[in-house]
Amino acid sequence: MRKSGKEHRGARTGLHPITRILCCQLEDQARLALPRLLKRDHNIEVTGRLVRRHLPLKSGGHLEVNILGEARGAGKAIHIVGEGKIRLDRRDVDRFLQRTVPLAQAELGEIQPVLVTYMTPEPGLEDFIRQQGILLYYSYDFAPPAPAGA
């Protein structure tokens, strides 16, 4: 039996809270794992906690930043600005580049953009992300390192 448009929209909106919970869990895991990963992979030292914040904008309003924190990289102070998406696609990356990155730079100065995800379904998207200077991590990167000798 075929669902009506109204039933189909209801089914989609019913999934939204689950999607939001999974995304928040992904970001929570990222906030715990990123200090270790950023140090290991890019010699960026997170100097405080990574948090979720609403960043006030000088122009009014605010910007929700899902992964935000102070760090040091290449001998200078920077801010980590990141976002998590369950299924990261080109539209998400473009939105991040066009809205989050410029607004965060205007408010914070030097930033290091970071995206975290469970998966990227589009071929070539990883390369595009890295070409934009964005660091990309997958949920499986968050596992703690194996003990020595294991």
Terminal-residue alpha carbon distance, the chain: 54
* Res. 15 pLDDT band, cuts 50 70 90: low
**Is residue 36 included in any domain, yes or no?**
yes
Helix (H) or strand (E) holding 71: strand 62-73
Residue 53 sits in which domain range? 24-142
Q: Looking at the domain assignment, is residue 35 inside a domain?
A: yes
Is residue 11 assigned to a domain?
no
Residue 3 lies in a domain: no
CA distance 118 to 18: 15
Cα–Cα distance measured from residue 72 to residue 29, given in angstroms and rounded to the nearest whole number: 21
Token pair 């919970």 is at which residue? Answer: 21
Q: DSSP 3-state assignment of 38?
A: helix
Q: How confident is the model over 63-117, as pLDDT tens digits?
A: 999 999 999 998 999 999 999 999 999 999 999 999 999 999 999 999 999 999 9
The Cα–Cα gap between 59 and 109 comes to 15
Count of the separate structural domains present in the chain: 1
* Domain annotation covers residue 94: yes
Which residues are within 8 A (CB) of 110 and not within 5 positions of it... i.e. 6 or more apart? 76, 77, 78, 79
51: domain CATH number is 3.40.1350.10
Global pTM reads 0.85
Q: Tokens standing for 111? A: 């930033």
Q: How big, in percent rounded to 5, are the helix, strand and coil portions of the chain?
A: 45, 30, 25
Per-residue model confidence (pLDDT) at position 14: 54
150 inside domain: no
In a domain, residue 45? The reply is yes
In a domain, 19, yes or no: no
> What pLDDT was estimated at residue 61?
92
